[in-house]
Chains A and B, each alone.
Chain A
């Protein structure tokens, strides 16, 4: 039986669950010294001077680096999806003359000892700040007399897309409605914060950097660029990574500064971000509101939409700042046929921590906004929300569907495959929609308010540009797989081994997967955007396929048969139809081991193949969440009852792992729907930068969950895989918000924002006039 598609347990778990993982913090090198960053306590201030003499005089200090100590002309942090119109509001590696958010790094302190001492000494670095008025919300930032975060204006870009003629269609529509929908700022908050160890490697005249990152190759390229070192002088290693969610998908200023300090310090330097720093200095996501007007007819068909989204992207452009504003509007219509769309996305800078994509980027806001609208339309025309969705959805024979919208980074949006109506039908059935309606009715009679809500989403996954996969068969027949995708806990080792085992018929346990080391893996992009299975997995599939071809060629000589007559099954290479005539894969590998003449037609002493897979376009996963809730009308407290997901990520390599991805995503979505919010005061001071006040969902917040899979394989890659890592987070807030809105429908309360904490729901109930 093939392992491909089987719910087998994870290869990595015995090691990780027994405490034998090797996370950044576990690494201790001889002679290691410790670093902390001096960070801005102000949201906005001029730096008049930095006096580090008291710190530098402490005998425990190894070095202090201020902006003046950095090489002159160091370019700021790049933004790779900037458009021509995007203003160059990029982040300097250390703040030079001005700080623009609380937590911005200003100086580096390296000490002998430990983090405790480093913090004491960081307190001795005297930065002379002249505070400036700050701005923390997008609305305040676009006011005429708002303080300027940079120069010119706080609007860093306005993106515009349109299909059809929305203005005319809105004017002609039988009905219209307008509303503002607000998604708050929240963050990935991985259990393991960021962390870096850098060691100068004198013989190599270069360095090794261990970093808890999703993108070791991109970090290597960044260090090569900033440090002016040759490529072969920089090695980046991502050890076990304890969660990332997008928060670790870019090289950060801290990594560059530590890289710059490495040679001078000459000893390994360790910096581990603490949770407070993490809230301040690791990127956030989401904060975006949508002002929407839709036109619809008596049947609830949505004819046209005009959306103006505004994203508070924080103080600086980051590597992928424009993804949130782009996806937020471009994926708004999701599964629905809306012929006329006018989409405007304004990107605004404030004195807050910068935004960069994290799990579900843009899609969360798009789904929340669109799904709330559909429910409002349904209520307005008096048709069941499920039925209104069906009327508006694309049918299953429209694929490939060109949406006529795209951007620099992701190309045109072309939906590849799916059956949205069936997904909706299955999710409503699994949620026992009609039974719940009856239950809701009888509960209402007792003064209890239950609600049910749908959150349908379509999600761009499997982003390019490429990923590498390499498979090598040792003379023993054991296999090593190298991947450029870099695990942050998802289970790469397991699924890539499943693909390889399937292709080569070797034992799962005979496969080792290597990732996260730029000396061992020549090229790679990393893990984000639900790309590792569809792109990384496909590269491995192709590489293993090449091994198979090579093996057949070698075996043909060994078995004195023609290659066409040879097949590879169950780790045996054999002549078709004569099972007695076979050699094992190990024998084949042994046949090309060095020290002997090569078989005819074979020119390498190795059984080794690499593929760098460039997908033609991206894959589009989708799913339908149905949440049921009960709302305590007196207090506004929302209790989740049940959460159903029917998800299509195409072919499943390992359903158990995809279930886990969906469940974890739903947990994050629950956080976004009910709990999580990074709060700033008007002065730009963070108000809840700790896990006591920033509320991530705990086990007690999780309802009963049902996860089912629809499998419509994508035609875009060999195995038909679409991304699976984010959909759970995308559909949940929309479904939960709709369920809450449904519960409070008898009171006419408007639900237009997340998180739906008790006071927010209570106020919505009070605001009904």
Chain B
């Protein structure tokens, strides 16, 4: 459980980081290290160069842009969790962060690292997906923006190219009469969920749902947006009715913690509870 040999650089600007990444085809970005270091220790990853973003200027920020919230990639998860602007603009993100590992992990883990790592059971990728957010990336050929729905490509895989760095994560700010909820079934508090549902609903003055976001984690090779459930809720279905659609199109894997069938069952259970709680908190 010791990493193989690698080189290490800690640039101070995004440009230098991009250059360093470009200098070695086997280079990898190091953010909080909470996912990457264990992979190295098990020798499941063997990059020849680690480009540490910890000292890069301009990646640690929380910016309120009115209808959008932009969070720098190197913002520690713990900081975002306790930030009043995030609490006001994106309460679903705060609630989700509370389910990410433990405080010690969140003090090192970064917002960008979690999204770039794209674990199918991770909360932050699912928040970005559920809310229809996007990420900003920079590479040697310039900056680009990737919509969340195009970002997650498969197990631990995104459309961020080798040599590119994720610089910021952007989510729409929540409007009035918005309710949210994160419901997870996990073996222990702080563990990756066997299955979880992250939900945000917005009501109109009459109490009808006018905006519905639901993403599921742990039920596929990437975070999954439950479009069918969202449509049903917008069409006036109750949480119980709508949640029965949650397993549609899912084919989760089995592992030592849960079978595929059981995860499908939990998709319904967590969706129902998340919808119910989000409705209650919006009302």
B259 surroundings in chain A (CB, below 8 A): 759
| B43 (CB) vs chain A CBs: closest residue | A119
| A36 (CB) vs chain B CBs: closest residue | B2
Q: Mark A468-483, 1 if CB is under 8 A from B, else 0.
A: 0000000000000000
Contact of B4 among A120, A688, A697, A759 (CB under 8 A): A120
B255 surroundings in chain A (CB, below 8 A): 687
Interface size class of B (residues with CB under 8 A): 20 to 34
Question: Taking the nearest CB of chain B, how far is it from the CB of A139, in angstroms?
Answer: 19
Interface size class of A (residues with CB under 8 A): 20 to 34
A274 surroundings in chain B (CB, below 8 A): 1-2
Quick one: given A635-B185, A687-B256, A693-B257, are A762 and B262 in contact (CB under 8 Å)?
yes
| B183 (CB) vs chain A CBs: closest residue | A635
B38 surroundings in chain A (CB, below 8 A): 692
**Taking the complex as formed, is B189 at the interface, i.e. its CB lies under 8 A from any CB of chain A?**
yes
Quick one: given A762-B262, A762-B265, are A120 and B5 in contact (CB under 8 Å)?
yes
Quick one: given A679-B256, A762-B262, are A695 and B191 in contact (CB under 8 Å)?
yes
Quick one: given A635-B266, A688-B256, A762-B262, are A115 and B189 in contact (CB under 8 Å)?
no
A675 surroundings in chain B (CB, below 8 A): 187-188
Question: Taking the nearest CB of chain A, how far is it from the CB of B160, in angstroms?
Answer: 24
Q: Give complex CA distance A116, B38 in Å.
A: 14
Q: Give complex CA distance A690, B257 in Å.
A: 13
Q: Give complex CA distance A182, B238 in Å.
A: 41
Contact of A759 among B42, B190, B262 (CB under 8 A): B262
Q: Give complex CA distance A401, B185 in Å.
A: 48
Residues of chain A in range 250-291 having any CB-CB distance to chain B below 8 Å? 274-277
Q: Give complex CA distance A488, B255 in Å.
A: 35
A695 surroundings in chain B (CB, below 8 A): 187-188, 191
**Taking the complex as formed, is A748 at the interface, i.e. its CB lies under 8 A from any CB of chain B?**
no
A697–B5 contact, CB under 8 A? no
B3 surroundings in chain A (CB, below 8 A): 116
Question: Taking the nearest CB of chain B, how far is it from the CB of A378, in angstroms?
Answer: 30
**Taking the complex as formed, is B212 at the interface, i.e. its CB lies under 8 A from any CB of chain A?**
no
B191 surroundings in chain A (CB, below 8 A): 695
Residues of chain B in range 17-47 having any CB-CB distance to chain A below 8 Å? 38, 42
Question: Taking the nearest CB of chain B, how far is it from the CB of A765, in angstroms?
Answer: 11
Q: Give complex CA distance A634, B239 in Å.
A: 15
Quick one: given A116-B2, A276-B1, A635-B266, are A759 and B258 in contact (CB under 8 Å)?
yes
B1 surroundings in chain A (CB, below 8 A): 274-277
Residues of chain B in range 194-218 having any CB-CB distance to chain A below 8 Å? 194
Most chain A C-beta atoms within 10 Å of own C-beta, residue among B3, B42, B256, B269: B256
Question: Taking the nearest CB of chain B, how far is it from the CB of A284, in angstroms?
Answer: 15
**Taking the complex as formed, is A757 at the interface, i.e. its CB lies under 8 A from any CB of chain B?**
yes
**Taking the complex as formed, is A637 at the interface, i.e. its CB lies under 8 A from any CB of chain B?**
yes
B2–A115 contact, CB under 8 A? yes
B188–A700 contact, CB under 8 A? yes
A634 surroundings in chain B (CB, below 8 A): 269
Quick one: given A116-B3, A120-B4, A275-B1, are A757 and B187 in contact (CB under 8 Å)?
yes
Interface residues, chain A, with chain B CB atoms under 8 Å away: 115-116, 119-120, 274-277, 634-635, 637, 675, 679, 687-688, 690, 692-693, 695, 697-698, 700-701, 757-759, 762-763
Q: Can you name 30 A-B residue pairings with CB atoms under 8 Å? A: A115-B2, A119-B2, A119-B4, A120-B5, A274-B1, A274-B2, A275-B1, A276-B1, A277-B1, A635-B266, A675-B187, A675-B188, A679-B256, A687-B256, A688-B256, A690-B42, A693-B256, A693-B257, A695-B188, A698-B188, A698-B189, A698-B190, A700-B189, A700-B190, A701-B188, A701-B189, A758-B262, A759-B257, A762-B262, A762-B265
Supplied contacts A116-B3, A120-B4, A693-B256, 16 more A-B pairs, CB within 8 Å: A119-B4, A275-B1, A276-B42, A635-B185, A635-B266, A637-B185, A688-B256, A692-B38, A693-B257, A698-B190, A700-B190, A701-B188, A757-B257, A759-B259, A759-B262, A763-B262
Interface residues, chain B, with chain A CB atoms under 8 Å away: 1-5, 38, 42, 185, 187-191, 194, 255-259, 262, 265-266, 269
